[in-house]
């Protein structure tokens, strides 16, 4: 139980848990709205989407803890990548629900 408390004290891990929940809830609601919710799809989403995207960055983040010198930015960069990945997942879940009208549209254009 002490390990859980120690892990929960890490702000990045708190962000991961809250972000997964913030993406999961609208995603489940969107699936219920479409009528295609199943627990198998939920497991596939966690395995193929969330864990597949997050695991490499989390491994780098964990391995780079305590790194000093010119490589000290590695944990922050890995953490920022995890955060951006989760925020995009939340955005996609809101878009699937049709609740993205208040979000800014992308201004990115193709170059070339």
Please check whether residue 64 lies inside any domain of the structure.
yes
**Contact at 8 Å (CB) between 32 and 42?**
no
Domain span at residue 93 reads 43-97
Total number of domains in the chain: 1
- pTM (2 d.p.): 0.64
Residues 8 and 14: their CA atoms lie apart, in Å, by: 6
**Would you say residue 4 lies in a domain?**
no
Question: Is 59 part of a structural domain of the chain?
Answer: yes
- Within a domain: residue 63? yes
Using the predicted structure, report yes or no on whether residue 77 has a pLDDT greater than 50: yes
Q: Give the pLDDT score at 40.
A: 86
Indicate whether 87 belongs to any domain: yes
Please report whether residue 50 resides in a domain.
yes
Asked whether residue 22 is assigned to any structural domain, the reply reads no
Residues 31-50 as b/e (b if ≥16 CB within 10 A, e otherwise) read: beeeeeeeeeeeeebeeeeb
pLDDT at 106: 53
Question: Token digits for 8?
Answer: 């929960």
The answer to whether residue 58 sits within a structural domain is yes
Least confident stretch, 13-17, 51-55, 96-100: 96-100
């Amino acid at each position: 139980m002490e390990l859980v408390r120690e892990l929960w004290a890490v702000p990045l891990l708190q962000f991961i848990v809250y972000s997964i929940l913030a993406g999961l809830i609208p995603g489940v609601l969107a699936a219920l709205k479409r009528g295609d919710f199943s627990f198998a799809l939920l497991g596939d989403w966690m395995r193929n989407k969330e864990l597949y995207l997050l695991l490499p960055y989390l491994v780098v983040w964990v391995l780079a803890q305590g790194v000093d010198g010119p490589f000290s930015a590695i944990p922050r960069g890995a953490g920022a990548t995890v955060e951006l990945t989760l925020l995009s997942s939340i955005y996609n879940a809101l878009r699937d629900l049709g609740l993205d009208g208040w979000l800014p549209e992308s201004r990115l254009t193709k170059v070339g």
